[in-house]
């Protein structure tokens, strides 16, 4: 710096930092405001009212999360059904050993088989279920996957026909193989029995205080899915009255341990759907059935539906699976629960109608409705 300029500055001191900071802050604010106007507020929220106004019964979610598409939707395969014409041959007339879809026309049968390949085994192709596919032999039941898939078709038909109160509670969406599989041989979020989880403890302590997937990584009991979605135990909490003349050993009496198990299930349900307690309950009166939301009834049907799926369809297949497909502790069959379909969303695949193109999977009667 020139000597005369340095002396000039010393004789006339000026605060240049304050104005610079002010100008910089104003400039940054203008840039941020312009960004929000152009791009949008990334942390904006949207609330869904689930109960009476003024009770705080709302579900609040970030808009960017609501509007973000489920990444598995992009890989969903569908194809419109072929309206049958008189004289079209049926699958049972053309192919051998068609036990479930024999009444479907050949064209729609092949269309459905192709879709199932895309939904469940896109990498392996037909040979995943048909050992002789490369030689043109599709009739054999040599692979367990074919036996299991046949039963899964029946389960899907049953869900769509008899559990519409759950799967179509808001509008027709239905289910098909992709609802759970999402392009994987084995669906994510299946579960197996693992209790007791604490071998060093006896009694109630042996089922909790160990972080597991089944307890959603909490210290809550890890056997809630087993007790409620397989054994069908009553979902309830302890008596709300004080000094009640009852003992835990008496039949039907619920104690605080069962209450914690209920909490474990409810926490699992919340995580499965990406919602909070107010989605189904008035949190100031969980015990009052008169203050529940419509979603409570939908979820209750879902619990009964999963019970039937596990006991009538999934568990009976245990003898068909190879060892690597069975549970790590009890070698039990894989089972389903809420998250197997929902995968963190209020509606699976964000409410996309997955049954519209697949009337073959919508009924157990064989009376397929083509439009």
Residues comprising the binding site for heme?
A: 113, 126, 129-130, 152, 166, 177, 180-181, 266, 277, 280-281, 338, 341-342
User: Would you list which residues are annotated within the binding site?
Assistant: 113, 126, 129-130, 152, 166, 177, 180-181, 266, 277, 280-281, 338, 341-342
Residue 272: closest CA among 239, 288, 295: 295
**Rounded alpha-carbon distances, angstroms, from residue 146 to 150, 189, 241:** 6, 22, 54
Cα–Cα distance between 110 and 352 in angstroms, integer? 23
Per-residue buried b or exposed e for 139-175, using 16+ beta carbons within 10 Å of the residue's own CB: eeeebebbbbbbbbbbbbbbbbeebbebbbbeeebbb
CB neighbour class for 308 (10 Å; exposed up to 12, middle 13-18, buried from 19): middle
Cα–Cα distance between 355 and 66 in angstroms, integer? 23
């Amino acid at each position: 710096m020139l000597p005369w300029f340095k002396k000039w500055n010393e004789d006339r001191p000026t605060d240049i930092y304050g104005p610079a900071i002010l100008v910089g802050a104003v400039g940054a604010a203008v840039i941020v405001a312009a960004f929000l106007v152009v791009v949008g507020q990334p942390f904006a929220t949207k609330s869904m009212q689930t109960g009476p106004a003024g009770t705080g019964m709302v579900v609040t979610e970030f808009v960017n999360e609501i509007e973000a598409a489920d990444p598995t939707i992009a890989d969903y395969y569908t194809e419109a059904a072929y309206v049958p014409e008189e004289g079209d041959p049926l699958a049972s007339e053309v192919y051998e050993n068609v036990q479930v879809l024999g009444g479907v026309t050949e064209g729609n049968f092949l269309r459905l088989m192709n879709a199932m390949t895309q939904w469940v085994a896109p990498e392996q192709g037909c040979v995943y279920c048909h050992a002789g596919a490369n030689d043109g032999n599709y009739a054999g039941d040599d692979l367990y996957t074919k036996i299991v898939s046949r039963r899964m078709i029946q389960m899907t038909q049953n869900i769509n026909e008899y559990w519409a109160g759950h799967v179509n509670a808001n509008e027709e969406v239905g289910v098909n193989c992709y609802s759970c599989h999402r392009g994987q041989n084995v669906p994510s979020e299946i579960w197996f029995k693992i209790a007791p989880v604490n071998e060093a403890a006896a009694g109630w302590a042996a089922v909790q205080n160990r972080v597991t997937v089944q307890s959603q990584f909490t210290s809550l009991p890890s056997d809630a899915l087993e007790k409620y979605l397989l054994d069908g135990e009553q979902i309830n909490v302890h008596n709300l009255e004080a000094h009640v003349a009852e003992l835990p050993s008496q039949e039907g009496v619920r104690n605080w341990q069962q209450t914690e198990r209920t909490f474990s299930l409810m926490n699992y349900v919340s995580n499965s759907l990406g919602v909070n307690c107010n989605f189904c309950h008035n949190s100031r009166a969980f015990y009052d059935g008169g203050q529940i939301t419509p979603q409570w009834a939908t979820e209750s049907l879902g619990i009964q539906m999963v019970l039937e799926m596990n006991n009538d369809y999934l568990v009976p297949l245990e003898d068909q699976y190879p060892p690597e497909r069975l549970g790590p502790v009890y070698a039990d069959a894989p089972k389903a629960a809420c998250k197997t379909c929902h995968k963190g969303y209020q509606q699976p695949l964000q409410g996309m109608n997955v049954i519209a193109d697949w009337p073959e999977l919508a009924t157990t009667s064989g009376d397929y409705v083509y439009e």
